[in-house]
Structure 1
């Protein structure tokens, strides 16, 4: 795989896309995915704020920075050692393309070499069996207790690895202008509890707290919502 010559992606069809990013299979190595900033996101941000690039040193690449930061956070306690996290899609580097700077990431593939199904895919086709549910609980336990920040814990962002575990392929980092959760493990856990509850509801595995547990859950949800609203408002002010 040539890591020097810029990749040509504009003539290829993306295999995935979101509001901020487009994802392509690497033209020379199908085991690798290439993530670039969605041109529509660039146009939308530039129309909204013509000084966006000047105010942000990394411009439209904030999502990449968030993702890379969380990968470093996951390895911070094991410096100088081989310690990849199996629940996070491995980052291989940054390359130039005809669509701008891009992240190279290791693709999560099934046994046939195709892109692995997401949690949503498993739910839609009725493949969320006992093995998958146990693996999901293992992933959620890791997500809750790790220091990693998560902003979008949706069923589309979890890929099923054929070895029997889930891998988070997007949604890492903190979008808030003031990174409160980065300096407060307690708030980070509260926020992730909310995201885990939302994910369970999304896939039809809703928890039913009762009595005082329900009251505490409601109170915590209100606190987290207020903090998220405050962070969002600060983000708008900073932009």
Structure 2
């Protein structure tokens, strides 16, 4: 069991904290914040039936794992294992609960830059715009299902496949009770394009260039 206090923190969101994986800087460990969990693993602050459905606090992990497995299944013939979402490596036990182990996405400088970071620091250029367009196109083509995707959950890298690309690291997988997006590529593509329009509306580059 890993002691979280001994791990290097890399960042956090509203639900999760991210740590560097010990002895492998190319991986990260994500854990659910303890304040969001009940003693028996449910979601704190929700009605009991909802709080304990489908793996409770680990529901997010389940969605991401299932999405990655589905993509691997769909591309079985090509033996493809790298997609526009982070690669899932498995799970690890920690003293603060189960951790999800995934690849670490970093920019050429070694820093983790999200679309939000690039925009905030005035670094978003034509190079990033082309990579972001390709990201959304690939998500549509590969039938990547979005949960709640926002501008801070899409990370930039050039090291992963030797080219500029964006990778989704949060908000992955089907959230709907009836999985319409998973069942229909057409419905899913419509949702991806809606998310794309919303994200691009927050990037001054697109308004300035009328893209």
Number of the residue aligned with 2:9 = 14
Name 1:96's counterpart in structure 2: 93
Alpha carbons 1:92, 1:104 under 8 Å: kept: yes
Q: CA deviation at 1:61?
A: 0.6
Asked if the contact 2:2/2:94 (under 8 Å) is kept, the reply is yes
1:25 aligns with 2:24: no
Name the structure 2 match of 1:236.
none
Distance 1:50 1:93 in 2: 28
Q: Which has the higher helix share?
A: 1
User: Structure 1: where are the runs of 5+ without partners?
Assistant: 1-5, 210-239
Q: 1:133 to 1:46 in 2, by over 3 A?
A: closer
Tell me the equivalent position of 2:181: 181
User: How far apart, CA to CA, are the structure 2 residues paired with 1:83 and 1:50?
Assistant: 40
Q: Which residue of 2 aligns with 1:124?
A: 120
CA distance in 2: counterparts of 1:124 and 1:130, whole angstroms: 16
| Structure 2 counterpart of 1:77, from 51, 74, 78 | 74
Aligned residue for 2:167, secondary structure, equals strand
Matches of 1:131 and 1:57 in 2, distance apart? 41
> What is the Cα deviation at residue 49 of structure 1?
2.9
Q: Secondary structure at the match of 1:92?
A: strand
Separation (CA, whole Å) in 1 of partners of 2:178 and 2:74: 24
Q: Shift of the alpha carbon at 1:186?
A: 2.1
Instruction: Give the structure-2-normalised TM-score.
Output: 0.84
Partner in structure 1 of residue 31 of structure 2: 36
Could you tell me how far apart the structure 1 residues matched to 2:151 and 2:46 are? 30
Q: Name structure 2 gaps, 5 residues minimum.
A: none
- Name the SS of the counterpart of 1:46 in structure 2: coil
Distance in 1 (alpha carbons) for counterparts of 2:145 and 2:129: 23
Provide the rounded CA distance (Å) in 1 between the counterparts of 2:170 and 2:190.
20
2:102 counterpart of 1:105: yes
CA positional deviation for 1:122: 1.3
Per the alignment, in what secondary structure is the counterpart of residue 45 of structure 1? coil
> Which secondary structure state, in structure 2, belongs to the residue aligned with residue 199 of structure 1?
helix
- Quick one: distance in 2 between partners of 1:188 and 1:29? 35
Deviations 1:39-63 (A, max 9, x none): 122159334334556x424221110
**TM-score normalized by the length of structure 1:** 0.75
